[in-house]
């Protein structure tokens, strides 16, 4: 039978795709790949793990709990919920230079900022400076939407209402004198938060925008007076406020409070005695929460993080061990080549 | 078809009887009968959206998502934004809607096409061409040859004698043979006289529209007379007029009221076992979802009681929600969040993958048959993966295993064999395409297509050896073939059985040309001389006689009886003097049979004039005898067919299709059991069984079940079983019942020692299929390697398939080519039609079709296996990725007060399935292959895992879930531990929710992508592009969505602004991603590697080999036809149907000259052989009538020619 030159249109095309003959790489879990791969990955992980661990070890961290539930705690008297405007002082000492820049965090535990209904209880329209939401806040803000007199709360919602309001002053005790350590409250929030995501209404002065509204119930001062020292750090772009609004993923969290970068402390906190003056306002005892302050410095990979280093070491070691096991099994069984 | 359910259901008050008057539209319109317009489309422009949506929401997955959507509207519950559900749902709905719309547009088109067909209608005394849809009840219409019948008609008159018309009813009942309808003489007299017809005012009173195809009752009142109407006078819509120049009919039922339309119920919808498993799994998932949600709701209850009741200072509970109510809301909130375990995109993806894999079948050049120009076709796109799980193949024989072409291959004349080609040393040579063929140019009447290789036979004819001449004379005279000579010297034969055609054609080429016949004569050209023999009697063939004889008087006046028949039968009637010749011929017969040839013995005898006259007189008496006519005739036949002189034997090759033995061998290596179900008789079937390797001499035993009573059959079956497996218990072992199955309990497979075959004939099969014995039969049959059922009716074919389907938890495939295979094709899980042989009935009802049986091995071993592999890989991975995705939420619940807080960004949740992970897994399921097709053929055992459901089962699903559980633990707790107290490099805290979300979702995406990489064993460039592209896409989309620009455009929609930048720039984030990725795949790699080493599967072994070989394996060695010497004897070679000698002598079917063929169609005919075998379905008239009596008059060739040409034009009767 002579084959015709011009093929019938019914005959399928002879392409690699239609005939399922596309060139392909067919990897297989062969001993030649898996065992050396495991060794390599294991060694790499061990290397990274060691580096991480060393780095992490070099980071200094100082954690101070000031919840005040214990009798001997300086803040014990402040933990009484009836007590208003209580101030307590925490004494601590540093025995070697706490290298700068030092970051000053506050930490809360057993605090469910990640509770869904807590999280949605905010009005992004308000926070974006949209005045129309000032009159009628978002309904998810309940019960912090209107006050008893039906006046709209701005900013509304649980997240805003629960703004952390303890304040701290740090003093170095030099020769028995308290020398205040300057705390830098700038640059603690994300750039995108205070430049784009949050906005004050374009009304000057800012307080006029809040006419007819009331401040959140728990707040001592209205939003436009959050930072009395710096008019530009007020309203919705107040950095403490922004840090709080970026709610935590987990019930135990810490948030950046201040940076210690100025004056005599550019290089860090020198060894010596310090006292931390705490304006104790924020109640946590009702839900068994705890409060703490943390001083820490950072490395290229961030703050102290032992976990990553250890995890890398463990996994790396596991890889190496497994590769040895595989090698033994392989040597014993080989690949059956009979048949 | 399904659309008809709707259509038919919409009925007004039931019509009890129908009254109509011909040519009186006014009168008929008063009854408001349906016109002839049909509507199979479901929607129009305006109803499409509501109706289609309504239908789609009837699917459980869609309804579920709609329910979720409703939940999301409730603010107390809504834990996700509406778009997370709406976007996927909208996508799924619109894809399906688009598909439905295109389908419906096609239906509209086909409706329009059918409705706008033209037909001649008698209106106002004139014939006018009208559209079908304008035809009304009571109209008289004129049909012409090869036209479709417009509506259900009462036949009035026709061009043919006796007012007959011939119709083909293939579209109604699948029978390819023609049927006859006859008009009442009273109306038949109207003829084609238009004025008379216009004046016809008969009134019909008949039954109301119904779906009974075989019955019709009514009366016609005309000219003061009343005539009864029955089915014989009705032409049904869907039939085609054949071999009838014209006919007139009165429209009784139109359009939707026609029997065809009333019959189109819902066609059965086949589902694959993976489908069924998937449904079960989805139900399980629903249960699992409910369980998870309950656990979390309970967790919420406890949390509310403990922590929550304390944590009210900053999070006041509205209206003082109590814990119980809160946990109730939480339940529903988690139903929303965890909805991704019930993947809506699963069904769409599965359909898509199947579609892709179906295209591969359509595109496969190796399944394209160039001689018939037929590519393989996947007619169903929903069954692909089941092709990889076939355990039982039920095959038809004729036209499927064999070509249904008989060739005269060898013969033995007077003790000498002809047909073998010998070389100089006397060694037998293999006949191939290059072997020199015999030149028949000396004979102008020879059939050019006939080939023969042995020159000795021609020489013998030319030498005028009397035995050789007698031999061929017998072949020219003793048959019931019809000859047709359209042009001088161009003969074509129409034979009842292809064997006869082959014999007559052989004789024709050797110079004994059968030219024409009349009821009492046969004209032949013997070696160039025209001779006419008087045909005195035909002693016809039947199943008992197994022989036929003719008594002829030669032009010289010599009386002779020529007889051909099964050798055993003939031998009993030979003259004593033939003893020596008998021995030699027996040897030859054994030799022929050993080669799988079909043999006949030929004998003759000269008759004494006086004796014959006496016999003839008695014959005449017997044939009119009132009692015991059959027995008397039989006795007379016996009397005259005695003392015959043996002439020799013929051997006909029932040509197997190419590659059939190899295919069968391959399939049986793949543990596929092949059952041949054939209408042929036992010897024939057995023979073919041997020649196609199904049965072999090496088998320990081949059991033949031939009992005629139930007891015999039962005993034979038990004996066979006892023989195969001594002590086989009387009761069969059942497999444990499936939890959800409502079907009968499955019978376990039983192992036997050795290979056995089973042959069972029709009678015994009827008993064996009886309810009380079917399990016995099934057990015995399933212990055998090969099963051949002979003399099976179409219904029994379906019953056998159904039996296996019922009691064996196995996937069945039926393959056939004829209308008689339709039933089994429909019953089996997968039906395969062989196209291009015997009409298109089998193909039209099949799921897959191709031209040659041998393509079956490619369909199963390559396409089926890959499809199954791909589908299983897809499902495993799909469940894995979705479970992993979802379980992370579950773990997170324990840290967020069970508040239904999501871990990921909502945008990520929306796009995860649709964008980020869709293409890589689709790529895998469209391209993946473990080893290429050549290796698949080399190692048919690769097919076995599919039969055992190894790749995807409940167990595999459970493993997936466990694996996901592990991965999600890693994916939640590693980031948790890594960032809980971590700070960024610039000192800011890292553990805010948005950063955590970005970190976890990135980890997740890396982990599932790596896992996919592990699953994928065939990385094409496309796969690489999909995988890398999807990851890149994630970053591009994430950075875009979290960009300042988009936030400024729509602040409320993009709360995650800046998170990507701020988070993904941190080194410890990337360290965490690396850690989770490695930790996710490390155990998998270890486990798989060890598994390959310790317990390698067949796939691993072959993959390893393929890797070693790198190059493709050498092509399969072509097996040469095994020559067997065997004592088996094939005494067959008649079609098993009763012969039609009666017809030949009655002269009834010679009344009409054959129709000239339409020349336009002449080129496409299957004029491959001069004789045209009648559709085999002729033998299986379900009504028991001898259909072929009428069908004889049909020119089968042109009929089938029409079909090949006309298929495209024909509208499916939707």
ipTM of the complex: 0.95
Confidence of residue A302 (pLDDT cuts 50, 70, 90): confident
Q: What are phi and psi of B948, to 5 degrees?
A: -90, 5
Q: Which of B152, B173, B396, B654 is catalytic?
A: B396
Tell me whether B579 touches chain A (CB under 8 Å).
Answer: no
Q: Which of A22, A31, A125 sits opposite B927 (nearest CB)?
A: A22
Confidence of residue B452 (pLDDT cuts 50, 70, 90): confident
Answer with the residue of higher pLDDT: B989 or B60. B989
Confidence of residue A2 (pLDDT cuts 50, 70, 90): very low
In chain A, the residue whose alpha carbon lies closest to the alpha carbon of B362 is A12
Answer with the residue of higher pLDDT: B981 or B997. B997
Query: What are the angstrom distances between the C-alpha of B300 and each of A115, A117, A229, B339, B963?
Result: 11, 13, 44, 18, 26
- The structure tokens listed for B696 are 């072999």
Question: Helix axis angle, B344-363 relative to B273-303, nearest 10°?
Answer: 160
Direct distance between the N- and C-terminal alpha carbons of chain A, in angstroms, rounded to an integer? 40
| B314 contacts A12? CB cut-off 8 A | no
- Helix, strand or coil for residue A325? helix
pLDDT at site B739: 44
| B1107 contacts A302? CB cut-off 8 A | no
CA gyration radius, chain B: 37
pLDDT at site B1152: 40
pLDDT at site A246: 92
Burial readout A124-144 (b: 16 or more C-beta within 10 A, e: otherwise): bbbbbbeeebbeebbebbbbb
pLDDT at site A6: 64
pLDDT at site B318: 57
Helices (H) and strands (E) in chain A, counts: 9, 11
Q: What's the gap between Cα A152 and its chain centre?
A: 31
pLDDT at A221 over 60: yes
Beta strand B512-518 with B218-222: parallel, antiparallel or unpaired? unpaired
Q: Identify all chain A residues contacting B1075, using CB atoms and an 8 Å cutoff.
A: 308, 311-312, 315
Q: Identify all chain B residues contacting A246, using CB atoms and an 8 Å cutoff.
A: 992-994
Residue B1020's CB is within 10 A of a number of other CB atoms, namely 22
Q: Identify all chain B residues contacting A8, using CB atoms and an 8 Å cutoff.
A: 370, 373
Task: List B residues 333-352 in contact with A (Cβ-Cβ < 8 A).
Answer: 333
Ramachandran sector of residue A68 (left: φ over 0; alpha: ψ -120 to 50; beta: rest): left
Highest-confidence segment of B50-64, B506-520, B860-874: B860-874
- Taking all residues of chain A, what is their mean pLDDT, rounded to a whole number? 88
Mean pLDDT of B523-531: 89
Mean pLDDT of B947-961: 91
Q: What is the pLDDT of residues A30-68, one digit of tens each?
A: 888 899 999 999 999 999 999 999 999 999 999 999 988
Mean pLDDT of A16-20: 90
For residues B1150 and B1146, what is the distance between their CA atoms, to the nearest angstrom? 9
| B1078 contacts A287? CB cut-off 8 A | no
Query: What are the angstrom distances between the C-alpha of B233 and each of A45, B220, B310?
Result: 89, 11, 90
Candidate from B1-10, B536-545, B1029-1038 with smallest mean pLDDT: B1-10
Confidence of residue B928 (pLDDT cuts 50, 70, 90): very high
Query: What is the 3-state secondary structure of B1026-1047?
Result: HHHHHHHHHHHHHHHHCCHHHH
Confidence of residue B1177 (pLDDT cuts 50, 70, 90): very low
pLDDT at B518 over 90: no
Answer with the residue of higher pLDDT: B137 or B679. B137
Confidence of residue B705 (pLDDT cuts 50, 70, 90): confident
Confidence of residue B995 (pLDDT cuts 50, 70, 90): very high
Q: Residue holding tokens 């119709």?
A: B167
Q: Identify all chain B residues contacting A329, using CB atoms and an 8 Å cutoff.
A: 1090, 1093-1094
pLDDT at site B962: 95
Query: Nearest CA of chain A to the CA of B1160: how many Å?
Result: 20
Nearest Cα neighbor of B843 from B1161, B1210, B1170, B1172 is B1210
Mean pLDDT of B1076-1104: 90
- The structure tokens listed for B626 are 């009132």
Confidence of residue B919 (pLDDT cuts 50, 70, 90): very high
The H-or-E segment that residue B165 falls in is: strand B164-168
Answer with the residue of higher pLDDT: B847 or B840. B847
Query: Running DSSP on this structure, what letter comes out for residue A175?
Result: T
Q: Identify all chain A residues contacting B310, using CB atoms and an 8 Å cutoff.
A: 286-288
In chain B, the residue whose alpha carbon lies closest to the alpha carbon of A192 is B1058
For residues A30 and A32, what is the distance between their CA atoms, to the nearest angstrom? 5
Query: Nearest CA of chain B to the CA of A175: how many Å?
Result: 31
CA gyration radius, chain A: 30
Q: Residue holding tokens 């062969």?
A: A30
Query: Nearest CA of chain B to the CA of A255: how many Å?
Result: 6
pLDDT at B1192 over 70: no
- Percent of chain B having pLDDT more than 90? 25
A101 prior amide bond cis, ω within 30 = yes
Query: Nearest CA of chain B to the CA of A310: how many Å?
Result: 11
Q: Which of B1067, B1088, B1096 sits opposite A300 (nearest CB)?
A: B1067
pLDDT at site B498: 74
Mean pLDDT of B1190-1198: 32
| A301 contacts B1068? CB cut-off 8 A | yes
Q: Are A75 and A281 in contact (CB under 8 A)?
A: no
In chain B, the residue whose alpha carbon lies closest to the alpha carbon of A260 is B987
| B1096 contacts A326? CB cut-off 8 A | no
pLDDT at site B229: 86
Active-site residue, B396 included: yes
pLDDT at site A46: 96
- Helix, strand or coil for residue B32? coil
Q: Which of B318, B896, B985 sits opposite A143 (nearest CB)?
A: B318
| B984 contacts A162? CB cut-off 8 A | no
pLDDT at site B543: 67
Q: Which of A29, A110, A308 sits opposite B1072 (nearest CB)?
A: A308
- Taking all residues of chain B, what is their mean pLDDT, rounded to a whole number? 81
Q: What are phi and psi of A182, to 5 degrees?
A: -70, 130
For residues B1133 and B592, what is the distance between their CA atoms, to the nearest angstrom? 13
DSSP B481-520: -EEEEEETTEEEEE-SSHHHHHHHHHHHHTTEEEEEEETT
Q: Identify all chain A residues contacting B1090, using CB atoms and an 8 Å cutoff.
A: 326, 329
pLDDT at site B500: 83
Q: Identify all chain B residues contacting A113, using CB atoms and an 8 Å cutoff.
A: 993
pLDDT at B901 over 50: yes
Q: Which of B984, B993, B1079 sits opposite A247 (nearest CB)?
A: B993
- The structure tokens listed for A69 are 């539930």
Confidence of residue B1209 (pLDDT cuts 50, 70, 90): very low
pLDDT at site B731: 60
Q: Which of A41, A128, A256 sits opposite B989 (nearest CB)?
A: A256
When scoring B333, B869, B983 by the number of chain A Cβ atoms within 10 A, the one with the most, hence best to mutate, is B983
Q: Identify all chain A residues contacting B986, using CB atoms and an 8 Å cutoff.
A: 298
- The structure tokens listed for A333 are 């069984």
Residues 6+ apart with CB under 8 A from B138: B20, B21, B22, B23, B24, B25, B27, B28, B250, B251
For residues A45 and A316, what is the distance between their CA atoms, to the nearest angstrom? 5
In chain A, the residue whose alpha carbon lies closest to the alpha carbon of B926 is A20
């Amino acid at each position: 039978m002579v084959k015709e030159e011009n093929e019938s249109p019914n005959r399928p095309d002879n392409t690699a795709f239609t005939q399922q003959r596309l060139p392909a790489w067919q990897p297989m879990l062969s001993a030649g790949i898996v065992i050396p791969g495991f060794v390599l990955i294991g060694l790499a992980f061990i290397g990274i793990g060691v580096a991480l661990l060393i780095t992490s070890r070099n980071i200094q961290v100082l954690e101070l709990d000031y919840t005040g539930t214990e009798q001997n705690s300086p803040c014990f008297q402040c933990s009484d919920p009836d007590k208003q405007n209580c101030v307590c002082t925490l004494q601590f000492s540093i025995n070697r230079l706490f290298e700068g820049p030092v970051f000053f965090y506050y930490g809360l535990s057993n605090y469910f900022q990640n509770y869904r209904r807590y999280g949605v209880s905010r009005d992004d329209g308000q926070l974006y400076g949209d005045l129309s939401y000032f009159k009628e806040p978002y309904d998810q803000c309940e019960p912090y939407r209107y006050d008893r007199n039906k006046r709209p709360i701005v900013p509304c919602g649980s997240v805003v209402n629960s703004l952390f309001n303890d304040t701290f002053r740090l003093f170095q005790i030099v020769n028995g004198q308290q020398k205040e350590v300057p705390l830098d409250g700038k640059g603690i929030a994300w750039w995108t938060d205070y430049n784009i995501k949050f906005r004050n209404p374009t009304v000057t002065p800012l307080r006029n925008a809040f006419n007819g509204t009331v401040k959140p119930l728990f707040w001592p001062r209205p939003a436009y007076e959050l930072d009395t020292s710096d008019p530009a750090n007020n309203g919705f772009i107040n950095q403490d406020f922004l840090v709080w609004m970026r709610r935590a993923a987990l019930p135990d969290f810490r948030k950046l409070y201040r940076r210690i970068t100025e004056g005599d402390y550019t290089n860090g906190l020198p060894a010596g005695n310090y006292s931390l003056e705490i304006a104790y306002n924020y109640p946590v005892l009702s839900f068994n929460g705890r409060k703490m302050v943390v001083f820490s410095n950072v490395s290229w990979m961030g703050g102290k993080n032992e976990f990553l280093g250890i995890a890398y070491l463990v996994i790396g070691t596991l890889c190496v061990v497994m590769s040895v096991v595989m090698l033994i099994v392989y040597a014993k069984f080989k690949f059956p080549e009979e048949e | 078809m399904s659309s008809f359910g709707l259509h038919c259901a919409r009925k007004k008050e039931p019509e009890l009887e129908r009254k109509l008057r011909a040519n009186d539209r006014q009168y008929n319109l008063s009854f408001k009968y349906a016109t002839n317009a049909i509507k199979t489309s479901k929607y129009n422009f305006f109803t499409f959206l509501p109706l289609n949506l309504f239908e789609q929401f009837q699917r459980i997955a869609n309804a579920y998502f709609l329910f979720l959507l409703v939940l999301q509207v409730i603010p107390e519950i809504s834990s996700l934004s509406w778009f997370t559900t709406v976007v996927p749902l909208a996508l799924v709905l619109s894809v399906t809607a688009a598909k439905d719309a295109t389908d419906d547009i096609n239906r509209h088109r086909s409706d329009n096409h059918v409705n706008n067909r033209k037909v001649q209608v008698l209106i106002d005394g004139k014939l006018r061409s009208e559209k079908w849809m304008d035809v009304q009840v009571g109209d008289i219409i004129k049909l012409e040859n090869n036209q479709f019948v417009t509506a259900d008609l009462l036949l009035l008159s026709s061009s043919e004698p006796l007012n007959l018309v011939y119709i083909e009813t293939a579209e109604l009942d699948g029978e390819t043979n023609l049927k006859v309808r006859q008009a009442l003489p009273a109306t038949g007299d109207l003829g084609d006289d238009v004025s008379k017809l216009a004046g016809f005012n008969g009134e019909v009173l008949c039954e109301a529209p119904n779906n009974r195809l075989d019955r019709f009752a009514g009366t016609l009142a005309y000219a003061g007379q009343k005539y009864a109407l029955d089915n014989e006078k009705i032409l049904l819509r869907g039939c085609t007029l054949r071999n009838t120049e014209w006919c007139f009919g009165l429209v009784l039922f139109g359009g939707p009221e026609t029997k065809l339309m009333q019959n189109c119920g819902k066609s059965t919808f086949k589902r694959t076992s993976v489908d069924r498993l998937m449904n079960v799994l989805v139900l399980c998932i629903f249960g699992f979802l409910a369980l998870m949600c309950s656990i979390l709701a309970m967790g919420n209850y406890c949390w509310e009681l403990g922590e929550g009741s304390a944590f009210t200072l900053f999070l006041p509970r509205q209206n003082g929600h109590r814990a119980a109510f809160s946990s109730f809301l939480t339940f529903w909130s988690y139903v929303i969040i965890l909805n991704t375990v019930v993947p809506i995109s699963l069904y769409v993806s599965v359909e898509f993958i199947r579609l892709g894999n179906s295209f591969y079948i359509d595109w496969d050049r190796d399944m394209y048959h160039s001689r018939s120009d037929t590519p393989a076709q996947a007619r169903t796109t929903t069954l692909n993966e089941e092709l990889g799980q076939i355990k039982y193949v039920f095959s038809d024989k004729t036209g499927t295993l064999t070509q249904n072409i008989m060739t005269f291959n060898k013969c033995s004349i007077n003790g000498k064999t002809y047909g073998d080609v010998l070389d100089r040393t006397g060694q037998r040579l293999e006949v191939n395409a290059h072997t020199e063929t015999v030149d028949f140019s000396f004979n102008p009447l020879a059939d050019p297509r006939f080939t023969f290789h042995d020159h000795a036979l021609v020489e013998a004819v030319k030498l005028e050896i009397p035995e050789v001449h007698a031999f061929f004379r017998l072949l020219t005279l003793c048959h019931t073939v019809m000859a047709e000579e359209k042009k001088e010297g161009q003969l074509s034969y129409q034979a009842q059985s292809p064997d006869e055609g082959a014999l007559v054609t052989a004789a024709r080429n050797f110079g004994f040309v059968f030219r024409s016949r009349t009821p009492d004569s046969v004209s032949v050209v013997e070696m160039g001389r025209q001779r006419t023999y008087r045909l005195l009697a035909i002693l016809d063939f039947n199943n008992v006689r197994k022989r036929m004889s003719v008594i002829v008087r030669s032009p010289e006046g010599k009386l002779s009886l020529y007889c051909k028949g099964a050798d055993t039968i003939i031998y009993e009637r030979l003259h004593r003097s033939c003893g020596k010749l008998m021995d030699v011929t027996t040897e030859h017969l054994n030799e022929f049979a050993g080669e799988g040839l079909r043999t006949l013995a030929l004998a003759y005898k000269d008759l004494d004039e006086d004796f014959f006259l006496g016999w003839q007189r008695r014959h005449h008496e017997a044939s009119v005898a009132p009692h015991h006519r059959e027995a008397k005739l039989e006795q007379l036949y016996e009397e005259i067919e005695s003392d015959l002189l043996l002439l020799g034997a013929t051997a006909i090759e029932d040509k197997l299709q190419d590659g059939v033995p190899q295919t069968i061998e391959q399939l049986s290596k793949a543990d596929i059991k092949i059952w041949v179900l054939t209408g042929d008789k036992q010897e024939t079937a057995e023979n073919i069984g041997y020649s196609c390797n199904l049965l072999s001499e090496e088998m320990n035993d081949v059991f033949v079940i031939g009992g005629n009573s139930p007891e015999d059959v039962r005993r034979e079956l038990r004996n066979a079983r006892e023989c195969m497996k001594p002590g086989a218990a009387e009761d069969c072992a059942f497999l444990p019942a499936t939890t959800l199955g409502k079907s009968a309990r499955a019978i376990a497979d039983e192992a036997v020692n050795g290979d056995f075959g089973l042959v069972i004939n029709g009678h015994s099969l009827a008993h064996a299929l009886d309810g009380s014995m079917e399990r016995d039969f099934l057990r015995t049959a399933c212990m055998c390697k090969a099963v051949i059922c002979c003399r099976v009716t179409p219904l029994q074919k379906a019953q056998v398939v159904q039996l296996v389907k019922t009691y064996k938890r196995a996937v069945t495939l039926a393959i056939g080519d004829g209308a008689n295979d339709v039933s089994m094709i429909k019953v089996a899980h997968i039906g395969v039609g062989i196209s291009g042989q015997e009409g298109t009935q089998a193909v039209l009802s099949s799921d897959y079709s191709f031209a040659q049986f041998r393509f079956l091995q490619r369909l199963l071993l390559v396409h089926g296996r890959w499809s199954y592999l791909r589908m299983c890989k897809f499902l495993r991975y799909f469940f894995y990725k979705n479970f992993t995705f979802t379980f992370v939420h579950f773990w997170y619940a324990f840290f967020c007060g069970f508040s239904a807080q999501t871990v990921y960004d909502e945008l990520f949740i929306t796009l995860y399935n649709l964008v980020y992970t869709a293409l890589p897994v689709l790529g895998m399921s469209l391209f993946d292959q473990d080893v290429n097709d050549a290796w698949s053929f080399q190692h048919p055992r690769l097919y076995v895992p599919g039969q055992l459901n190894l790749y995807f089962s409940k167990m595999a699903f459970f493993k997936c879930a466990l694996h996901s559980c592990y991965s999600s633990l890693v994916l939640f707790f590693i980031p948790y531990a890594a960032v809980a107290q971590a700070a960024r490099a610039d000192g800011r805290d890292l553990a805010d929710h948005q950063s955590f979300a970005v970190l976890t979702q990135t980890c997740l995406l890396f982990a599932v992508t790596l896992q996919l990489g592990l699953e994928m064993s065939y990385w094409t460039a496309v796969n690489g592009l999909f995988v890398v592209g999807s990851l890149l896409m994630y970053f591009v989309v994430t950075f875009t969505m979290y960009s300042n620009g988009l936030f400024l455009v729509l602040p409320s929609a993009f709360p995650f602004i800046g998170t990507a930048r701020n988070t993904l720039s941190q080194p410890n984030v990337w360290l965490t991603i690396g850690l989770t990725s490695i930790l996710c795949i490390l155990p998998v790699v270890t486990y798989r590697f060890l598994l390959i080493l310790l317990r390698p599967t067949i796939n691993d072994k072959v993959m390893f080999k393929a890797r070693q070989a790198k190059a493709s394996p050498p092509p399969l060695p072509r097996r040469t036809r095994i020559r067997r010497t065997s004592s088996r004897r094939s005494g067959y070679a008649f079609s098993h149907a009763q012969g039609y000698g009666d017809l030949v002598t009655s002269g009834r079917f010679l009344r009409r000259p054959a129709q000239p063929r339409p020349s336009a169609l002449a080129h496409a005919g299957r004029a491959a052989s001069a004789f045209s075998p009648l559709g085999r379905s002729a033998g299986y008239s379900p009504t028991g009538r001898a259909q072929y009596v009428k069908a004889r008059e049909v020119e089968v060739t042109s009929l089938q020619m029409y079909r090949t040409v006309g298929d495209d034009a024909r509208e499916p009767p939707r």
